[in-house]
Amino acid sequence: MQKPTELLFKTQFEEDVHSGLTDFPKHLSSKYFYDEKGDKLFQDIMHMPEYYLTQKEYDILLNHTAKIAQLFASGNPKFRLIELGAGDGKKTKILLKHLLENNFDFKYQPIDISQNVLNGLEASLKRELPQMTVEPQQGTYFEALEKLNSENGSKKIILFLGSNIGNLLHEQAIDFLKSVQELMQKDDLFFIGFDMKKNPQTILDAYNDQTGITAAFNKNVLARINKELGGNFNLDKFLHWEVYDPESGTAKSYLVAKEAQSVSINKLNLLIDFDQWETIHTEISQKYDDKVVTWLAEKANLKIETEFSDVEKQYKNFVLRKG
């Protein structure tokens, strides 16, 4: 017998929007922020002075390029550089340029859920590094990684930058790390960025800029529901709200209904009621300390080989190997 979901939903987006908005409390996944408009908003976020994560990781990659490249090529010099959630590749290009200029034997396989961002990345790489072999793969991390893994051969260096892991609760992060670990061979490396705990105000400011770019980014999931699923959300009737708990290290983004309202989503044949001040939880941005990173790695049977950080140790890139 077919499940009702198979009858109802044509895409994962439809299914997730339906289940998230009929749940209590309501929630939507941050992976749905990214379409053409969301990609542009995230690039604007990366340029905001408050969003320190990009600059910190950029500096780490810039200050340690040669050492990181050597690490990638150690043992077996031929490798595939697979990047999960590559985005516009702004930081990765530091490494790519160095690898190419120094004749490393590699190809670049960026993965992203957003076809739009991959198109932009591919076009910019054609212009900036035309000799490089680039094989973009659209899909969620796992769909795409599994496809790439079935490709025989060379060593995999898996990049996961931007502290994207922070979008996952610890239990989900362990499952994610375990699944990556299972796809890794002995020689493969996992190069992953973690945003570390720091002054709570600095963290709160990063997700709560005064210009409203983060608010527009958060609300873009509603804009996508309007555009793609025939929704009638009035974005002005929702407030972007950020909280940070310095004990757990969890930053959470919400959309809060400013007034009681009903919203219809035609493609889902759904009418949703909001009470005044009711929330939709949209994103978590987890912050870490060394103990938690070590615990996550151990749980997933990954071994920390080394780490790179900025001077103030506010952001770290860990190099993990199969345990």
Ligand X SMILES: C[S@@+](CC[C@H](N)C(=O)[O-])C[C@H]1O[C@@H](n2cnc3c(N)ncnc32)[C@H](O)[C@@H]1O
Return residues touching ligand X (CB under 6 A): 31, 34, 42, 85-87, 91, 112-114, 117, 140-141, 161-162, 164
Residue 185 is encoded by which pair of tokens?
Answer: 């061979």
Largest CA distance in the chain: 61
- Please state the closest distance from residue 290 (CB atom) to ligand X, in A: 21
- In the complex, which residue's CB is closest to ligand X? 162
128 or 273, CB closer to ligand X?
Answer: 128
- Please state the closest distance from residue 167 (CB atom) to ligand X, in A: 7
Distance CA 98, CA 8 (A): 49
- Please state the closest distance from residue 271 (CB atom) to ligand X, in A: 28
- Please state the closest distance from residue 273 (CB atom) to ligand X, in A: 29
- Please state the closest distance from residue 227 (CB atom) to ligand X, in A: 17
Degrees to nearest 5, angle at CA 180 with 88 and 187:
95
- Please state the closest distance from residue 2 (CB atom) to ligand X, in A: 26
| 137-138 and 26-27 strand pairing | unpaired
Strand partners, 107: 80
242 or 263, CB closer to ligand X?
Answer: 242
Among residues 273, 260, 275, 232, the alpha carbon closest in space to that of 22 is found at 273
Residue 201 is encoded by which pair of tokens?
Answer: 């105000």
113 or 255, CB closer to ligand X?
Answer: 113
263 or 300, CB closer to ligand X?
Answer: 300
Distance CA 176, CA 194 (A): 14
Among residues 108, 93, 186, 183, the alpha carbon closest in space to that of 141 is found at 183
117 or 265, CB closer to ligand X?
Answer: 117
143 or 187, CB closer to ligand X?
Answer: 143
Distance CA 118, CA 134 (A): 11
